[in-house]
Structure 1
Amino acid sequence: MNPNPFISADQEPAPTQSDSPADNGASAAIPEAQFQPATEPAAQSQSAAQPTTQFQPATAPISDDELAAANQNIQTVFDAFSSRVVGQENLRTALMVSLMTGGHILLESVPGLAKTTAVQTLAASVQGSFKRIQCTPDLLPSDIIGTQIYDYNKGEFRTELGPVHANFVLLDEINRSSAKTQSAMLEAMQEKQTSIGGQRYDLPKPFIVLATQNPIEQEGTYELPEAQLDRFLLKEVLSYPAPDEELEILKRIESGKLSEAPNNSNTPNIELAAVETLQNLAQKVYIDDAIKNYIVKIVSATRNPASIIPSETARYVQYGASPRASIAFQQVAKALALINGRNYVIPEDVKQLRHSVLRHRIILNFEAIADQVHPEVIIDSIFNAVPVP
């Protein structure tokens, strides 16, 4: 049974006991890996090849030449990613969306799934600067944003900018840093600036934070507050590679293809200025009022789930998503439309990364944790219940 007309059967999550996630309200544990965003290349090409003309604008907001140039740049970044990272198609799409919207990503996975390599490759593919910060409990805010150092030769203070002043910043194991250090990132992530010694320093453009956290080690960690979680455009949960993908990894390592770190000389790349062009084009993508209303209904349903989904499932929700979720859905849908070769949004663009947009914004209660109910169950129930325009 396929309740979503814009998602093919192979894209849908595979519930363990019934055909509908809504029927699984109080069921036992449902593996996280079953709830990945539908971002397979086949699905993208299908939606691009058979667009829904119902949502097309009267006048194209983006010319055919602009659309062709954008698709060429997007494909170059995709080729760079595929040259260094095997599989991880969902991560590839999420990183591209982040690049086109200027949003930040929270990556959750066990160690060894090429998170650092993926971000390094993204930076090299657009000729951007990359910095990696290993978060520890003794990490200070000044270690991230920078500090003032007294120069004895000149008899004055000079400012040393921290590693956050880069185009792409990887915060490895962000939940191991203290709450004080985590809060120091809020200004940088939200305002795109830092303050050192009472002076403001603008961050480079583009500026994207990619934070990672390990779900299997919680000792000595500081849980991210909801206010900071909400500032991440997407939360991507990575899964283990398939056996054939892991075999390809071994072959690439043996051949020496992965022996060097990604850089501008060994990675397909575009100009950094082309990223700003992609961001401007993504903002110009047309989104019909019917799609906007669809987004608002979905986000509103997370705040009052009992009005639209069965009570046995709705009872697990403690808090719904904020208006940032609606903004994120609109930004992500526009970027996905451009990635799929369209200058307008269709409902599939809203659905494609639904888990990544909402999984960190829907707060579940302790009963959900006890029953091992994941946010993806709630998200799928809401999407199945809200009428598609």
Structure 2
Amino acid sequence: MTAPRHTPVRIPQTPSAAPLSAQQKKFNRHIERINEERALLSAWQEAIAAYRERHAREVVPLRGSHIALLVELVQHLDAASDDKKLSKAARRTLSEGITDRVADLIDAVPDEATRAGLKDIYNRHSGGDYDAEEAEDNEVAKEMAQAMVRDLFGVDLDLQGKDTESPEDLLRRIEQQMQAQRAQAEQQREAHQAKRRAKPNARERKAQEEAAQATQSVREIYRKLASSLHPDRETDPAERERKTALMQRVNQAYANNKLLDLLQLQLEIEQIDPEHIAGLSEERLKHYNRVLAEQLKELQQEVNEVEGHFMMEFGLDPYQRLKPAGLMRDLRADLQVLERENLRLTRELNGLRADPAAIKDWIKAERQLQKQQDDFDPWF
């Protein structure tokens, strides 16, 4: 056989040969889609690793500076609210501006003492109780998180009555729940199959036979590879090492029911060539297609899980459609927004500190901003 070492698994269509059969076309489509999903999974993994590294290196410090600037602004505005020269309407506008800013700031502050001080500011200017409101909001957030987890991962996660979890803890619980559901589904499937085996009808018997034949087809490939690559039969140390590495790949592919990987290994060691695959019977291809369809489904599930975990880790909108190639572009845009906001906050603080009378201009601008927001959302 003269197949190149990395010949792709595919049934070739040559001008002189007969058109590909339905099973041959399906085989090629499965192979193509599996390779696409593998490429997509690899692209996600590489893009997420790069995103995570740059996020930690650039976004986290900028966000820390942003939070620190907001804390300073809120504290300065709180101190300015004691000015007796301010009118009642000006105080009300100032308190609303403080409340709007501090409400989203408290949980982002790492220092407990600062957080307690911000809660006190919130309570004084809002006339409410931050902890009580947060507890109520958390219950709503949990319901939304449960719905999101159900949509993204197909997992029913009970968050009621639990303390607010970090994204890392939530991801860990989702993975544990998914593993438990997979195990339960596997047990149910095995129990269902055992029940069917006890008294199957004609259609079920046929499905069982096809599943058994598909499993047998994969096992036959494995045995051929193991017979050719078993390192214990090799006397040359270098060749034994090569075969040991190949055999590890064979065992892993067989354990995970990865038919495509096994076929690729057969081509790689020149145990078969493309003509061999093209010459497979329709019945054998039907068995192969069954296994390949399962492999494709598992890959698609893995891609969805990787994407969903990424969005949850970084608090992104889980329903937006992202592509790996666009992650760094989106991150650069976020960095630019943060940089502009930090510059604006720095100038705003410097202006308020330099001129105590500037608080009146700030209140005037805040009143205009609140009016624009009310006009945009008439329900509030």
Normalised to the residue count of structure 2, the TM-score between the two structures is: 0.22
Larger strand fraction of residues? 1
Larger helix fraction of residues? 2
Normalised to the residue count of structure 1, the TM-score between the two structures is: 0.21
User: Which structure would you say has the larger Rg?
Assistant: 2
